[in-house]
Amino acid sequence: MFTNLADGRNNANRQCDLLILGAGPAGITVALEAAAKAPGLRIIIAEAGGLEPPSADELALYSGESAGSSRYSLTTTRLRYFGGTSGHWGGWCRPLDAVDFAARPQAGSTGWPINKPELAGHYAAAHRWLEIPDDNYDPDRLETELRDKLIDFSSSDWFQNRLFHFSPPTRFGTRYRDAIEQSSSIECLLNAAAIDYSYSANRLSSVRVGGLHGHQLDIQAGRVVIAMGGLECARHLLLMRQRGWAASGISSAKLAHGFADHFGLRPGILQLQADRIYQRTAGSQGPVMPIITPTPEALSEQAWQNTCMLLDITPAADKLPSGYTSHQALGFSGEDTWTYSVQMILEPRTNENSRVELSGQTDALGLPKIKLFWEIDPRDYQSAQNVFTRFTHEIARMGLGRGQVKPLDITLRQRSANGTAHHMGTARMAEHPGEGVVDRNLKVFGTGNLYVAGSAVFPSFGYSNPTMTIVALAHRLAEHLTDTG
Ligand SMILES: Cc1cc2nc3c(=O)[nH]c(=O)nc-3n(C[C@H](O)[C@H](O)[C@H](O)COP(=O)(O)OP(=O)(O)OC[C@H]3O[C@@H](n4cnc5c(N)ncnc54)[C@H](O)[C@@H]3O)c2cc1C
């Protein structure tokens, strides 16, 4: 059932068992999964926006200051209405690699408190939520004509082929609207942004919701899940700290530090066998995108950060100088080749300096705005450059082609970096308080009833887009909340 707070018709205070703040992929998955698993549970979703895309005034509630060495848009990288940012996401999907969960100093990570096998069933569920029929990411099972267009890495210890899949993309606000509407245990309050919090000892006792329309009400809940996206999550936990709540996760030095987004690097060009396909393409089970990644062994031996490579076909003018391609003795004639520009997606290293702060300015609802410092560690670029350099050696060794590595100007790269709207790391999951903000069950350390869903909890980031893992973790959280209800 939906109730629009802006109508002003049914604005009595509420009580419920489970309150979810935010109706993006994370919040909607938690709500519908919890309702399915525990039919008697009284669930409220408080969603800041309505059913239609936000007006300029509503989106301005996300505005703030970008103060880091890399610029960042706080408004165009997220949406504020029912369905959240899935209203314009691209649908690129891939689970994290097993290695991404491990402690890796080169990624600035002490590791996740859970491993990939623990998420297996939840990733399977996430494929259903994201409407991806195929959860096999091994390119060996692709049909022959596609497989034949990939580089044969069977003689390489360094590199391997992998895949992305694509969600249609699922727009959670339209795809799951009827399910929320028809649910007898979920009430979704629209135009109901969380704007204030009361706590008592270790429990969040009540949340005030309101909007630009001026109506407000209080909600008391047994348990509360913050599912507002990775930036608002940090903002609201900082707001709770500002209100004096000293629960260990909220007063943690890690809170709002370690903000990360994925970004790219074009490290150079390749002259390589013609007709290689490392771009989105139609597979028999749906669209796929082959990628090239270092093997887990190479990642660990070389202490590289994780990364993947896509190949774009470039105009002939970009061809390598003939000196690169004329070494017949090395088995590469340079004939029947194409020139490709390489696009890498990099794993950002956790950087404590990259952070969200509350600024001195307030938004139209009276909440302090965000001041974001997006700081990219220079080693991120160097690691990627090292991977690509090694890749050019490897394709030369295999007699497949040649590559040219472009000079790397890290300061210029940092200044011109573009994020990909993946807001991660601001409320890290950890085994122990002091190492992070939430525990392995996503409960904020030191609190009795406050949880976080979303990519804020990622303690490291891999190169995979986050929504598949967000939904898998949301599925796992719903199971935990209902099992321990
Ligand atoms: C252009 C674009 C392309 C993208 N492409 C991809 C892609 O291809 N693959 C991928 O994996 N990811 C992609 N993403 C990222 C993806 O959209 C997010 O990872 C995903 O939407 C996060 O889900 P979420 O539920 O955690 O947060 P969101 O989707 O941001 O939802 C948060 C919800 O909380 C609500 N909210 C905010 N503040 C409050 C408040 N105070 N009280 C109550 N509710 C509140 C918001 O209105 C919103 O509904 C893309 C993002 C963008 C912008």
When mean pLDDT is compared across 22-31, 52-61, 282-291, 428-437, the lowest value belongs to 282-291
Provide the pLDDT for residue 327.
57
Q: Is there an atom of ligand 1 within 6 Å of 43 CB?
A: no
Nearest CA to ligand 1 atom 32: 228
Q: Is there an atom of ligand 1 within 6 Å of 46 CB?
A: yes
Q: Is there an atom of ligand 1 within 6 Å of 467 CB?
A: yes
What is the model's pTM?
A: 0.97
Give the whole-number percent of the chain exceeding pLDDT 90.
90
Q: Which atom of ligand 1 is nearest to the CA of 229?
A: 27
Q: Which atom of ligand 1 is nearest to the CA of 422?
A: 15
Provide the pLDDT for residue 334.
60
331: pLDDT strictly greater than 60:
no
Provide the pLDDT for residue 313.
85
Three-point CA angle 84, 473, 197, nearest 5°: 60
Provide the pLDDT for residue 316.
59
Q: Which atom of ligand 1 is nearest to the CA of 78?
A: 53
Could you identify the residue written with the tokens 């608002």?
Answer: 232
Provide the pLDDT for residue 141.
87
322: pLDDT strictly greater than 90:
no
315: pLDDT strictly greater than 70:
no
Provide the pLDDT for residue 154.
95
Provide the pLDDT for residue 319.
63
Confidence bin at 459 (pLDDT 50/70/90): very high
Structural domains of the chain sorted by starting position, each given as residue range(s) with its CATH number in brackets: 1-132+169-262+352-376+421-485 (3.50.50.60), 133-166+263-346+377-416 (no CATH)
Q: Is there an atom of ligand 1 within 6 Å of 78 CB?
A: yes
Query: What mean pLDDT do residues 405-428 have?
Result: 94
- What is the Å distance from ligand 1's center to 77 Cα? 8
Provide the pLDDT for residue 166.
98
Q: Is there an atom of ligand 1 within 6 Å of 470 CB?
A: yes
pLDDT in tens, 363-374: 999 999 999 999
Q: Which atom of ligand 1 is nearest to the CA of 236?
A: 41
Please check whether residue 223 is in contact with residue 38, taking contact to mean a CB–CB distance below 8 angstroms.
no
Q: Is there an atom of ligand 1 within 6 Å of 25 CB?
A: yes
53: pLDDT strictly greater than 80:
yes
* Residue 323 burial (CB count, 10 A): 8
**Summary mean pLDDT of the chain:** 95
- What is the Å distance from ligand 1's center to 451 Cα? 17
Q: Which atom of ligand 1 is nearest to the CA of 367?
A: 41
Mutate to test the pocket of ligand 1, among 47, 59, 73, 85 (most ligand atoms within 8 A of CB): 85
Query: What mean pLDDT do residues 175-186 have?
Result: 98
Quote the CA–CA distance of 217 and 219 in Å, as a whole number.
7
- What is the Å distance from ligand 1's center to 143 Cα? 34
Provide the pLDDT for residue 284.
86
Query: What mean pLDDT do residues 317-342 have?
Result: 68
- What is the Å distance from ligand 1's center to 24 Cα? 6
Nearest CA to ligand 1 atom 21: 85
Which uninterrupted H or E stretch holds 428? none
Q: Is 466 helix (H, G, I), strand (E, B) or coil?
A: coil
Q: Which atom of ligand 1 is nearest to the CA of 26?
A: 25
Q: Is there an atom of ligand 1 within 6 Å of 436 CB?
A: no
Confidence bin at 320 (pLDDT 50/70/90): low
pLDDT in tens, 216-254: 999 999 999 999 999 999 999 999 999 999 999 999 999
Provide the pLDDT for residue 34.
98
349: pLDDT strictly greater than 60:
yes
- What is the Å distance from ligand 1's center to 421 Cα? 8
329: pLDDT strictly greater than 60:
no
What b-and-e string marks burial along 444-471, b requiring 16 or more CB atoms within 10 Å of the CB?
Answer: bbbbebbbbbbbbbbbbbbbbbbbbbbb
Query: Concatenated DSSP letters for 68-129?
Result: SSB---SSTT---STTGGGGS---EE-PPPGGGGS-BGGGTB---SS-HHHHHHHHHHHHHH
Mutate to test the pocket of ligand 1, among 75, 89, 92, 171 (most ligand atoms within 8 A of CB): 89
- What is the Å distance from ligand 1's center to 47 Cα? 12
pLDDT in tens, 76-109: 999 999 999 999 999 999 999 999 999 999 999 9
Provide the pLDDT for residue 317.
57
Provide the pLDDT for residue 314.
79
Nearest CA to ligand 1 atom 52: 89
Quote the CA–CA distance of 116 and 96 in Å, as a whole number.
8
Quote the CA–CA distance of 345 and 307 in Å, as a whole number.
6
Q: Is there an atom of ligand 1 within 6 Å of 86 CB?
A: yes
pLDDT in tens, 255-288: 999 999 999 999 999 999 889 999 999 988 889 9
Nearest CA to ligand 1 atom 44: 22
